[in-house]
Each structure stands twice: as C-alpha cells, then as structure tokens.
Chains A and B, each alone.
Chain A
Amino acid sequence: MLIELQDVKKTFDEGESATHALRGISLSINKGEFVAIMGASGSGKSTLLHILSFLSRPTSGRHFFDGKDVSNFSLMDLANLRNKSVGFVFQSFNLLARATVLENVELPMLYANIRPKERRQRALIVIERLGLGHRTKHLSNQLSGGEKQRVAIARALVNQPEVIFADEPTGNLDSSSGEQLMGVLEELHGEGKTIVLITHETYTAAFAERIIHIKDGLIEADTVVEERYSIKDHKFIK
C-alpha cells in the first residue's frame, strides 16, 4: 500500500464560519494504481488532492505514505516529499513563463541539489521522451497548450517520483491534445507509476482503473472500472 488516509478531516477557518471541506475520508491507494477522483466543484476533491500530494496537512486524521505517518511532518519534510516522491500536473500548466522548456523541466532538480550537468542530461531525456526535443530552447510561453502540458509532465517526471498527481490536466486543452495527454498518462501507468487524476469529466475518468466519487467532503462511491478506455488500443479494455 502506497497511500493511506484514515478518517482525514480538513476544516478551513475563515473568520466566524468554518468550512468543512473534508469530513472524514478513509482510503488507500496501491502502488501502480491509476485512480481518478471525481466530484462536482466544491465537493472537496481538490482539498483531498492537496492533502494526498503534501501541499497541505489534514486538520485531523492520519496520512500514511509509503509506510510513514506523514500527518505530523514538518513543512520542510513535506517540501522534500513533494520534491522527491510526487510530481504535479496542473490544469493551468504553471510553467515559468520567461524560462525555457529546459529550465522549466530542470526546476525540481534545482531543489533536489542535483549537479547542473546531470540536471541537464536528465531533463533532456524526459523532454525527448515527451516528443519536445525540438522545443528545448523555446520559452514556455511560446508553446501550444498541449506542448505546455507535456512540459509539465516532463517536469513532474524528472525527479522519478512514485506518484503523479494530475489536477484536471485536460481542462485547458482541446480534445485531441487532451487525448494525447491521457495517452502519456496511460503509458506512464503502464510503466508502473501510480497516477492520481482529478477530473469532473466522465470521459477522462474512463482511463482510470478505479474511480472515487467525492460529495460534500465524503466518499460517495469507490468503484473499480470494469472496462477502461485505452488510447493505445483505441478501445475499451478489461
């Protein structure tokens, strides 16, 4: 078991009124799983993702990652986990606009204290793999949406994390780029990476092996997908 949440609650205190974003979530995700988290906006799915990806800490409950209880980790330890163990793909890409593709992909390694030479080599390998070799020296704001998101995936992969968290990754892409992107995620899953995908599109969720539905801060349903869609094979597979 890679990730486990036990009765995790998250409350936001904003002045007088407290918002209960998560009201007791327990779940576990195995290594190599491809999980989609679905829910309407305001359901708490983003908050759940933030906790799973160490961006924020639960108000109560326990959070285990790779056998370690990370609920009480310091901010510094969490930063370290984000750096080494997880990769992010955001809906709005979040690339450094005035930096080149190479610099963007190198960014996580900057905080992992990897030597410049090795940084460059590793970055070039992932960039090449995602088919962006010809874009290495381009500024990220000169790229198309699909290319930007592939840079983001390269950045997420470069520190060889256990889990990739993708928060509505196709939200800002046209359908063909979106499809291409899901193909990349599928491929990564095929290589054994754990993938946690947040989406509200049934179509996108159909790539996952398992779908967790969130509603009002609670798990509404946790189902294993019988037939998932494969980009590679262009059909639903069991």
Chain B
Amino acid sequence: MGFFDLIKTSLASLNANRSRSVLTILGIVIGVAAIMLVMSLGAGAQNLILQQLQAIGSKTIAIIPGREPKGPTDFLSAFSDSLKESDLKQLKNPANVPHAARVIPMVFGSEVVSYKNDTYQTTIFGFTEHYAPLYDLYPREGQNFTADDVESSSSVIVIGSKVKEELFGNNEAVGEKLRIKDTTLRVVGVLPKKGGASFINFDNAILIPYTTAQNYIFGIKYFNRIIVETDEEINVPVTEIDIISTLRNAHNITDPDKDDFFLETQAGAMETVSAITSVMTLFVAAVAAISLLVGGVGIMNIMLVSVTERTREIGLRKAVGATDRDITTLGGALGIIISTLLGLIISVVLSKALNATWTYTFPVVAMIIGLFVAAGIGIIFGLYPARRAARLDPVEALRYE
C-alpha cells in the first residue's frame, strides 16, 4: 500500500468516528501542550534570571560578608559586619589585587523617604559614584553625586524614576529636599526608567554616597557588599584568589572553613541558577509527561476498540491481499496521525499565545520536539493494537459478528 493511500485510508477512518478521534487527539494534545508550556516557561524564567545576572557584568566579583550558606540552617547574618573600611583599602591596593579596576563598596537597607507630607517606602543604596559605569546607569535629569560628595558624606541623593513619580509627580525633583529618618537630603539626579537588573530594581531605589548612608542613615561601620570590577573578564579567577588571600590576611583567617566572607561571580551565579531552573523545569515537565502517558493509553484504548469493531473489515482486507505488515502500518499510521494532527495546530496556537504574554520567544525546537514526542507516543501506543489487528486470522475475522 502506497504512502498516499495509507494517509488517505487513515484519514477516512478518523473521519468516520469524528468525535471519538477528536477526544483521543485531545488527550495527546493536552499532554504535549503541557510539556511544551512547562519547558518554555522554564526556559523563559531561566532566561529572565540570567538576564538579571548579566546586568552585574561578567567582569565583576561581589564580596559578601558572612559565611556562604551551605544549607537552610546557615544564616547569612553570622559575621555580616565583617567587611570594613580597612578591607576596602587593602583591596584597592594594587599590590594585593592587581587586576581590580574598581572597588566599590555598597550598603543597603529599606527606609521610608518623605517629601513634604508624602512618604514612600524604598530601598536605599549607598555607593561610590562608580555605580554609574558599573550598572550603566546615568541620571536622566540632574547629575550623579561626585567623589567629593562621597569623601565628605554629603547629603545628596539620586532617585529612581518610580520614586520620582510617586513623590513629585510631574514636578521638578532636582533641587528639592527629601527626608530619611532625621536626615535631610538634596536631590541631585533622577535615574532613567530601567526595570530590574542584577536583582536590583533601581526604579524603586534611591542612591546616596555610601559614607552618608553609613554615618547618617544606617549608623553602621561595615559594608553589605564590596564589588570588585576586574580589568578583563579573563582575570576574574585570579582576582578571586587575590581577594580571598587579601581578606584572609586582613581578617587573620588561617582555616578556609572559618572565612567570614564569600565571593559571587556572574559565571558562578549563572551556573547555579541554570542548574536550579533546569532541574525545576525537568521536574515539572516530568509531571506533565504523565498526562502525555495518559493520552497515550487513551490512544491505545481507542485503537483496541476500533480493532474489535472493525474485525470484519480487517478480515476482508486480508482476504483481498493485505499482508500483516499492511495492517500494522495502517494501524501505526492511524496512531501517528491521531497524535500529530492537532498536536501541530495546538503547538502553533500555543507559540502565538506564549509570545504575547512572555518576554521569551517560544522555541521552535520545543515545537518540533513536541511533534516528535506526539508521533512517538502514537507509534508506541498504536503499535500494540495494530499488531493485534494484523495477527487476526482472516477466517475468524470474516466470521466475526
């Protein structure tokens, strides 16, 4: 039997039992759709997180105070005040960390900021003026605070676009005075709208010199982070080693297990994030795969019913010369067509729908995989009924009532 005749015959028999075919196809479609949805959502989520990580920049190393959490019972809070001004000096010393292009301390915390009678809950970041090149973030109105401002703990402030909108609306913000706790700060710049980057939403943040943040707002002598930007990406690993030895020296640490700081790099974080999201995606996809399995059993069930119903027809086909192989192929083709037919339509529809709501473009690869999976399910679960049909004795089959 030729390929074209096979398709024609299969379609004709699907058409003969339309509602049954549609329901069977639906089972497979739900399964395939679920898997593809989960996979592409997972890929989308991963991409989103990776994008955030990329914003940190591949050349930067974050030094985080405390001990690297090894399990849920480890608390970051231990030694959280371990990074001090003296460490900053050590790290800035080219003799210690030769490839450090910039060393930027960072303090942060959540505070309420008020303007006249309006208040707004925001995150305060204390930086040096170098945050601007680090995050590629330059004020769209006014200007950045300066090295002098950092040196002298000036009461100057750069605000995020959302903060500006909330407190000032359409009015001019630069030059106005804001209050945080008991400190009055003068707005010198407004940041452009940026959205999230490296897990910091700068739209909703205010930036001030770190000295100001330490002295007037948080009243602390330590840093929440020190960010080291290396001169070249290739020097990240060697710089990591330099930082570790410098800080161990400064903190008199001999046992690496007793480190009161740990490092985070973009590469490391990406690896971790990829690993976690991949495992999650796989896990959820595996759950979705169960629905595919159920769909497959549905195909098998329906095909077994069809074989029984069409016993006489199979007998006749064999009587006029169909070989066992002809019958098996016909059954197999039915299974494949059942599972592929609407699988195709659904995956196209799905891809359109996903493109609309998710920033991530639906992968064509996932669609192709989906189709192959559907066809595979069709073959696997269609084969047994098809074989059973093929093995029918023509004499018995012709007599079947």
Within 8 A of A (CB), among B320-340: 320-326
Beyond A55-B395, A113-B1, whether A99 also contacts B326 by CB under 8 A is: no
Number of chain A interface residues as a range: 20 to 34
Tell me if B321 and A113 are in contact (CB < 8 A).
Answer: no
Tell me if B398 and A90 are in contact (CB < 8 A).
Answer: yes
Tell me if B312 and A79 are in contact (CB < 8 A).
Answer: no
Tell me if A56 and B320 are in contact (CB < 8 A).
Answer: no
Beyond A56-B393, A98-B12, whether A82 also contacts B320 by CB under 8 A is: yes
**9 smallest beta-carbon distances between A and B, as pairs:** A83-B321, A111-B321, A108-B320, A79-B323, A94-B316, A55-B394, A82-B321, A111-B322, A76-B323
Q: B286 contacts the other chain (Cβ, under 8 Å)?
A: no
Q: How far is the CA of A113 from the CA of B323 in the complex (A)?
A: 12
Interfacial residues, chain A to chain B (CB-CB below 8 A):
50, 55-56, 75-76, 79-80, 82-84, 88, 90, 94, 96, 98-99, 107-108, 110-113, 116, 155, 159
Q: B269 contacts the other chain (Cβ, under 8 Å)?
A: no
Tell me if A50 and B395 are in contact (CB < 8 A).
Answer: yes
* Closest A residue by C-beta to B394: A55
A160 → B minimal CB distance (Å): 13
Q: Residue A96 contacts which of B5, B316, B323, B324 (CB distance < 8 angstroms)?
A: B316
Tell me if A96 and B1 are in contact (CB < 8 A).
Answer: no
A42 → B minimal CB distance (Å): 14
Number of chain B interface residues as a range: 20 to 34
B94 → A minimal CB distance (Å): 83
Q: How far is the CA of A83 from the CA of B394 in the complex (A)?
A: 13
Chain A residues, Cβ within 8 Å of B164: none
Beyond A56-B393, A113-B1, A113-B2, whether A79 also contacts B318 by CB under 8 A is: yes
Q: How far is the CA of A113 from the CA of B320 in the complex (A)?
A: 13
Q: Mark B284-324, 1 if CB is under 8 A from A, else 0.
A: 00000000000000000000000000001101111111111
Q: How far is the CA of A113 from the CA of B4 in the complex (A)?
A: 11
Q: Residue A83 contacts which of B320, B324, B395 (CB distance < 8 angstroms)?
A: B320
Tell me if A76 and B325 are in contact (CB < 8 A).
Answer: yes
Tell me if A110 and B12 are in contact (CB < 8 A).
Answer: no
Chain B residues, Cβ within 8 Å of A113: 1-2
Tell me if A79 and B16 are in contact (CB < 8 A).
Answer: no
Q: Residue B320 contacts which of A75, A76, A98, A107 (CB distance < 8 angstroms)?
A: A107
Tell me if B319 and A88 are in contact (CB < 8 A).
Answer: yes
Tell me if B1 and A110 are in contact (CB < 8 A).
Answer: yes
Interfacial residues, chain B to chain A (CB-CB below 8 A):
1-2, 4-5, 9, 12, 16, 312-313, 315-326, 393-395, 398
Chain A residues, Cβ within 8 Å of B312: 94
Q: How far is the CA of A80 from the CA of B321 in the complex (A)?
A: 6
Tell me if A75 and B324 are in contact (CB < 8 A).
Answer: yes
Q: How far is the CA of A110 from the CA of B2 in the complex (A)?
A: 8
Chain A residues, Cβ within 8 Å of B9: 110
Given contacts A75-B324, A79-B321, 7 further A-B contacts (CB under 8 A): A82-B320, A83-B321, A88-B319, A90-B398, A94-B315, A98-B16, A110-B2
Tell me if B320 and A96 are in contact (CB < 8 A).
Answer: no
Tell me if B324 and A94 are in contact (CB < 8 A).
Answer: no
Q: How far is the CA of A147 from the CA of B20 in the complex (A)?
A: 32
Chain B residues, Cβ within 8 Å of A98: 12, 16
B81 → A minimal CB distance (Å): 83
Q: How far is the CA of A155 from the CA of B313 in the complex (A)?
A: 14
Tell me if A111 and B1 are in contact (CB < 8 A).
Answer: yes
Chain B residues, Cβ within 8 Å of A79: 318, 321-324, 326
Tell me if B320 and A88 are in contact (CB < 8 A).
Answer: yes
Q: How far is the CA of A84 from the CA of B321 in the complex (A)?
A: 8
Q: How far is the CA of A191 from the CA of B393 in the complex (A)?
A: 33
Tell me if A56 and B12 are in contact (CB < 8 A).
Answer: no
Chain B residues, Cβ within 8 Å of A111: 1, 317, 320-323, 326
Q: How far is the CA of A88 from the CA of B393 in the complex (A)?
A: 16
Chain B residues, Cβ within 8 Å of A88: 319-320
B327 → A minimal CB distance (Å): 10
Q: How far is the CA of A159 from the CA of B317 in the complex (A)?
A: 14
Chain A residues, Cβ within 8 Å of B322: 79, 83, 111
* Closest B residue by C-beta to A96: B313
A56 → B minimal CB distance (Å): 5
